[in-house]
Chain A
Amino acid sequence: MALPEKPTAWLMSAGAALMFIVGCFNVLFRAKPSLFSAFSSRTQTSVASDDSLDADDSCADTTELAMAMTAWKQTQLRASASASSSRAESAPIGGDIAPARSVADAYPSLHSVAVDPESNQVFVSDSNRGAIFSYNRDAGSNSPQMANPERVIRGPRTGMMFVAGISLDTANHEIFAVNNDIGDRMEVFPYDTEGNIKPKRVLSVPHGAWGVAFDPMRKEVAVSIEHPNTVVVYRREASGSEAPLRVLRGPETDLADPHGIVVDSAHNEMLVANHGNWAPLTREEEESEGGLRGGHFAMPSINTYAIEAKGDEKPTRKIQGAQTQLNWPMGLSLDPMHDEIAVANYGTNSILVFRRNAAGNVAPVRVIKGDRTGVLGPMGVAIDTKNDELWVTNYRDHTAVVFSRTASGNVAPKRVLRNAPMGTPAVGFGNPGAIAYDSKRGQILVPN
């Protein structure tokens, strides 16, 4: 099969999803301690060039050397003990072994963002540690200082795992959060929740939930589901295993790996961002639809549906094509006052703004993009019309950045909300499900 004419879609599907974790792995414990100067637990989140394989003295510092020496001694003792062990032959070898090295991000990975200008609060989800942070709306600055959250919801009682989209019911002061890929639940928390506590309500949702949008007019919650290419709509107060009010799914919907979702109550519409990946869910589904369809990559899109669309209903319009610049569109935000929508465009580290009723292969009316913007791996976007601001959460940086609503081009943000010391690299793991070893480069490969 020839490669597709427009490679963007399949590149977005896989190319950027590989996370290469590089360290000076090759000499840790097999080496004599004198070689530890080449060891590091340093991580890089970008793909390493072959140059990075060169010995790098900067890998080593006093702490790492001490850790490596201690670990080396421990493992030598363990190996010795194992060799002379008198343990029962049936006991497995190994045991509760401490890792020689580990790579994990101690800081949050900001995912989605939602603003309530009336209560002057902003909420962000953290898919790394399964948390929701609330900040004062004017948090952040132009300094390297970290911002202190007003509250943090986190811990096993919350049920949050790979938490993705969040949405707000500003009238009832509730936060809706959905978990993607693991934790097939929607949790609902009051604004003033804090710590490791149970949610106010928990609703089971289909596997692969990503986006969530509260509709204050209909008192409903819409959830986008990646795996089955579906949108499900529930009552606001739904809990447990309650069935959805409506399900939008089928080949006519053109839903393809849906992510961000917003509800436009004023115009009775629902907008959904699609990555463009599509494959039959089961063999039964494939055969019921004529069989032998196979998967495919489509161009990413933003599809608009009637707000009460259900079944295999077609979109009323689509933004799709090369002019749109859409590339891994993630979160969406609607500006009903100025009739615009903003898109967190992860694939090109940009924010795209379209007219609300744009259709076809159209260019965005504004683009925030460039090295001055601080936009890096944007996942979430939120427009605050009261304060004329636009919020962006960066997955590949420990920041949220705030712009004027009409910002355009390569512009610096008004302020930066940091949740890690400036310059701290973001590891970027998001429910990693496999691992491989590149023996040529001494690298470990982890797909998200």
Chain B
Amino acid sequence: MHGIAYDPVHDEIVVPVHLAGAVLVFRASASGEEAPIRIIQGPHTRILRPETVNLDLKNNEIVVGEDGGKDVMFFPRDANGDIAPLRTIRGEKTGLDEVRGVAVDPIRNLLVVSSRGEGKGTTGVFVFNRTDNGDVAPRAVIAGPKSGIIRVRQVEVDPEQGKIFVAVKNNAESYKFADASPSPWNPEKPGFIGVWDINDNGDVPPRGIIKGPASEMVWPAGVALNAGDREVYTIDSVSNGMYSYYMPEFFPPKKPATKQ
């Protein structure tokens, strides 16, 4: 499984099962070999190989991103069984290829998608209107050399600030046997956690970053936020490690409301 989302309102966990074309929902307190409370699976779902999931609790929807399917689907949060999606963003105009992360900003009604172009399309962060449906162009794409994005994975949104947090995995697997000292990863192009404004567009550098040898990140594959404790969490595919960063810079205190 390469995705997971926690629902704090209903105290549930949502996971995609890539190899069985399913989305499972468990009690958040589930333990051991416990059955899911709901399963979204079957031909009418049009789910192919779900890679990533997230939740839009304001609009009561599960968002499913697919790498092989090259799409994003929306289901009712309490969907169960072989049911059709509410909406699907798929097609050439979308620019989506291998979708690796999805997140919703319910305040601005936006959908953020990370997609890997694999040489054919754009690798970057795509922003759509939350209610987009069908073969629609994104309203913004963050990609290019200044962005530092080579490969992307999970995305998360802090809607209070309007910020996008991205696990930028970066250097592609590049083991070259003929090299004198080959390596599967490029130490000169380490991955990072990047922070962009949700209104950013084009080849723009991140506004915030966690990157470098001290961070211990090589291939960060996921990102999660704990805004209350001003922490950012990531996991890494190369080191098989989970890292917690205290980042007050990323979570400035809210300004007190001024009296009129």
Contact = CB atoms under 8 A, between A and B. Distances in A.
Contacts of B153: 433-434
Contact of A432 (B35, B175, B185, B237): B237
Residue from A47, A105, A275, A445 with most neighbouring chain B CB atoms (10 Å): A445
A199 B230 CA distance: 45
Contact of B20 (A286, A291, A296, A432): A296
A36 B111 CA distance: 39
Interface string B193-235: 0010000000001111111111110010111111011110111
B182 interface: yes
A434 B6 contact: no
Given A1-B42, A431-B240, A18 B68 contact: no
Given A1-B81, A15-B30, A157 B181 contact: yes
Nearest to A429: B240
B11 A156 contact: no
B215 A98 contact: yes
Interface size class of B (residues with CB under 8 A): 35 or more
A427 B240 CA distance: 9
Contacts of A275: 19
A128 B222 contact: no
Nearest to B169: A433
B24 interface: yes
A278 B22 CA distance: 10
Interface stretch (B126-134, B136-144, B245-253): B245-253
A184 B184 CA distance: 10
B20 A92 contact: no
A93 B249 contact: yes
Contacts, number: 325
B172 to A, nearest CB: 11
B218 to A, nearest CB: 10
Contacts of B173: 182-184
Contact of A182 (B15, B83, B222, B237): B237
B115 interface: no
Contacts of B11: 440
B249 A79 contact: yes
Chief secondary structure at chain A's binding surface: loop
B221 A102 contact: no
Contacts of B154: 433-435
Contacts of B57: none
A96 to B, nearest CB: 3
Interface residues of A, number: 97
B99 to A, nearest CB: 13
B240 A430 contact: yes
Contact of B175 (A21, A104, A202, A447): A202
Given A21-B242, A439-B6, A445-B13, A294 B182 contact: no
A25 B231 CA distance: 10
A7 interface: yes
Interface in A232-252: 240
Interface string A115-159: 000000000000011000000000000000000000000001101
Interface stretch (A26-34, A302-310, A373-381, A409-417): A26-34
Contacts of B175: 159, 183, 185, 202
B209 A92 contact: yes
B6 A30 contact: no
B249 A94 contact: yes
A215 interface: no
5 contacts: A13-B24, A18-B1, A291-B43, A432-B237, A445-B6
The 9 closest A-B pairs by CB, nearest first: A295-B21, A1-B81, A96-B212, A433-B2, A279-B21, A104-B241, A156-B183, A435-B222, A294-B43
